[in-house]
């Protein structure tokens, strides 16, 4: 069941979010609902089966972010 919620937000931000929602094709209500869902769902709860399978695979390795970026640059550039 959906219920109405009243929020007090700065007018400038309201105008920006209305423009953003128009560009993205979502209502402001849907954007707020999705944001609240993301805040209240447990981390990893909405992962696809493939991502769930791979999650944590590289845990406790010595791979650094810079090394991974270099790998991608070498592979694709």
pLDDT of 15 reads 95
Domain boundaries, the chain: 11-76
Distances in Å between the Cα of 19 and the Cα atoms of 11, 12, 24, 40, 68 are 13, 11, 9, 26, 37
Contacts of the segment 42-47: beta carbons below 8 A, 24+ positions apart: none
pLDDT of 58 reads 67
pLDDT of 71 reads 84
Task: Express each pLDDT in 7-66 by its tens digit.
Answer: 999 999 999 999 999 998 989 999 998 888 877 876 656 667 776 677 677 666 677 778
């Amino acid at each position: 069941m959906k219920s109405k919620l009243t929020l007090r937000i700065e007018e400038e931000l309201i105008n920006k979010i209305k423009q953003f929602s128009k560009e993205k094709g979502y209502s402001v209500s849907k954007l707020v609902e999705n944001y609240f869902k993301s805040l209240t769902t447990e981390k990893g709860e909405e992962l696809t089966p493939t991502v769930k399978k791979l999650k944590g695979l590289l845990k406790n390795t010595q791979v650094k972010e810079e090394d991974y970026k270099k790998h991608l640059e070498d592979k694709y550039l």
